[in-house]
Amino acid sequence: MVKELQLRLTLKEEALSDILLIKSASFLGIDKNDISGVKVLRKSIDARKPKIIINYKVAVYIKEPLPKTSQYQFNYKDVSKSKPIHIIGFGPAGMYAALRCIELGFKPIVLERGKNVRDRRRDLRAINQEHFVNEDSNYCFGEGGAGTYSDGKLYTRSLKRGDVRRIFENLVFHGATEQILIDAHPHIGTNKLPKVVQNIRETILKYGGEIHFETRVVNFTIKNNSIQSIHLQNGDEMAANRVILATGHSARDIFYLLAKKQIALEAKSFAMGVRVEHPQHIIDSIQYHCNGERDPLLPAASYSLVQQINHRGVYSFCMCPGGFIVPAATNNGEVVVNGMSPSKRNNLFANSGIVVEINANTDLHKYERFGALKGLEYQKNLEKLAFTAGGRSQVAPAQRLTDFVEGHLSPQLNPCSYQPGLKSAPLHSLLPKLIGSRLRKGFQAFGQKMKGYYTEEANIVGVESRTSSPVCIPRNEQLEHPEVKGLFPCGEGGGYAGGIVSAAMDGERCAEAAIVGL
């Protein structure tokens, strides 16, 4: 017999061994020796009150063996001689599209401009230490895409768009911890992600797929409204009739290429702002009602904040507890920040994007001449402005949070996790009013919601500009571009995802769509 229970544990109880077994037996009024095992289905922390509670949803197996954890079988088969599907980009969307192609009996041929995870690391070091951005290999481009050197947060609001559990189980199948199947807010961590990504690559190669790194796509041949071939930067041309375009939101050259070829694109609303960084102990104190030192059983605390300011949402984005701010530019001459954390989330800082919604229809009048690319040009300008304000390197412009809100330059900045370094700059006057004035009010409102959040011990760092794609590549119900047969815009670049999990789900869906009629 199997019984599902909700158990509530105090932190003291959480520290005891076999506590779930003991509590389950007592709850059910049975002898603990009759329980063959307790499987955790869900775990979450309730820190709303000073007495912190750990909530468990468990399945108790009574005189019955525990089943295998996996609900899914991944039936990979040899596709080396099967019909090809070309996939451009090896981020979460491209990786999951390739895996799904193999399950469906088609051969994925992946073209990725960046390097494999190991070689990519050297280029990340060069950005941090020499301030040189390799425009094909950086925090956004390379094996695993923008998701590899990230926090690996696996939350998604797109629960209706696909089977999240299937995505998670496939990550576990490729080496991610089973904990992601249980935690209410699962994450993998930047130290663990490269191995998972490498294992996915090995599966694809083992079953006969192809992956070509350092292979940038620069053009397409389209005849009679159908895709015919893909052109590579080395001059090669590859015949292709089903192409999944999963190049992410930073592949501006792809947006420019499509615009030049007069292939329909649409401007899309997006969000931009800054990254704020607090000492982690401040966030722990606020969230766990403690005095700076959180209980060792508790993870680094996180937060999620949102406030309407003058008809626009101002909200926290990609919060990284115990993490680092990283330089996520894809071109020299721009500064872009983002965040990542190791699996233990044990760095001394808590950072988060704080961004303002930019409405593509009403906020970009001065950029109308750029048509569908108006948001992209606006984004690009802000990144150039950050580059100039930081002193024309990967040093980022920054300000103490309180100085930003009060409108004066910071004589001194707080210590920060951002490796290339910070330069004090008047972000309050440099940012467009649309963003800057709302952020200033937003931070004050957040200080009301989380007492201690609005503090001179926090820095803000500019600019957080790559939250989502400013461009949408349209597609019809068959997920195909309405004007180009055989072209399947996919993932975050097309405007169909906003994170690792939603991009992966979209990759699977595009693979299923691309094989139809082949």
Give the footprint of ligand FAD on this chain (CB under 6 A): 88-94, 111-114, 139-142, 145-147, 149-153, 216-217, 246-248, 250-251, 253-254, 318, 326, 328, 338-340, 491-493, 497, 499-500, 503
List own/partner pairs for 120-123 with CB under 8 A and 24 or more apart: 120/148
How many other CB atoms are there within 10 angstroms of residue 122's CB atom? 11
Residue 142: partners with Cβ closer than 8 Å, 6 or more residues away? 112, 114, 115, 116, 117, 120, 123, 136, 148, 213
d(CA 279, CA 464): 19
d(CA 343, CA 194): 12
Helices (DSSP H) in 111-185: which residue ranges? 117-125, 164-173
Helices (DSSP H) in 104-192: which residue ranges? 117-125, 164-173
Q: State which residue, 375 or 499, has the beta carbon closest to ligand FAD.
A: 499
- H or E stretch including 258? helix 252-260
- H or E stretch including 383? helix 374-389
d(CA 31, CA 502): 44
State the DSSP string of 275-330.
Answer: EEEEEHHHHHHHHHTSSS---TTSPPP----EEEETTEEEEEEEEETT-EEEE--S
Q: State which residue, 240 or 497, has the beta carbon closest to ligand FAD.
A: 497
Asked if 359 and 187 count as a contact pair (C-beta separation under 8 A), the reply is no
In angstroms, what is the minimal distance from the CB of 488 to ligand FAD?
Answer: 12
Q: State which residue, 256 or 476, has the beta carbon closest to ligand FAD.
A: 256
Residue with tokens 């999951």: 96
In angstroms, what is the minimal distance from the CB of 392 to ligand FAD?
Answer: 22
Residue 73, classified by CB atoms within 10 Å of its CB into exposed (0-12), middle (13-18) or buried (19+), is exposed
Q: State which residue, 287 or 467, has the beta carbon closest to ligand FAD.
A: 467
d(CA 340, CA 140): 12
In angstroms, what is the minimal distance from the CB of 238 to ligand FAD?
Answer: 12
In angstroms, what is the minimal distance from the CB of 220 to ligand FAD?
Answer: 11
Amino acid at 472: C
In angstroms, what is the minimal distance from the CB of 298 to ligand FAD?
Answer: 20
> In the structure, how many helices (H) and strands (E) does the chain have?
14, 22
Residue with tokens 């001689």: 81
Q: State which residue, 246 or 398, has the beta carbon closest to ligand FAD.
A: 246
- Tell me how far the alpha carbon of residue 291 is from its chain's centroid: 31
C-alpha to C-alpha distances, 98 to 64, 212, 228, 474, nearest whole angstrom: 38, 13, 20, 22
Q: State which residue, 253 or 483, has the beta carbon closest to ligand FAD.
A: 253
Q: State which residue, 285 or 338, has the beta carbon closest to ligand FAD.
A: 338
In angstroms, what is the minimal distance from the CB of 481 to ligand FAD?
Answer: 16
Q: State which residue, 143 or 403, has the beta carbon closest to ligand FAD.
A: 143
Query: Residues 464, 466, 467, CA angle at the centre, nearest 5°?
Result: 90
In angstroms, what is the minimal distance from the CB of 71 to ligand FAD?
Answer: 22
d(CA 250, CA 267): 15
Q: State which residue, 390 or 493, has the beta carbon closest to ligand FAD.
A: 493
Q: State which residue, 147 or 390, has the beta carbon closest to ligand FAD.
A: 147
Q: State which residue, 47 or 193, has the beta carbon closest to ligand FAD.
A: 193
Label the pairing between strands 107-111 and 210-212. parallel
Residue with tokens 């094989």: 515
In angstroms, what is the minimal distance from the CB of 269 to ligand FAD?
Answer: 16
Q: State which residue, 24 or 190, has the beta carbon closest to ligand FAD.
A: 190
Comparing CA positions, the residue from 151, 150, 131 lying closest to residue 142 is 150
In angstroms, what is the minimal distance from the CB of 134 to ligand FAD?
Answer: 11
In angstroms, what is the minimal distance from the CB of 216 to ligand FAD?
Answer: 4
In angstroms, what is the minimal distance from the CB of 86 to ligand FAD?
Answer: 11
In angstroms, what is the minimal distance from the CB of 385 to ligand FAD?
Answer: 20
Q: State which residue, 103 or 123, has the beta carbon closest to ligand FAD.
A: 123
Residue with tokens 């911890």: 177
In angstroms, what is the minimal distance from the CB of 235 to ligand FAD?
Answer: 14
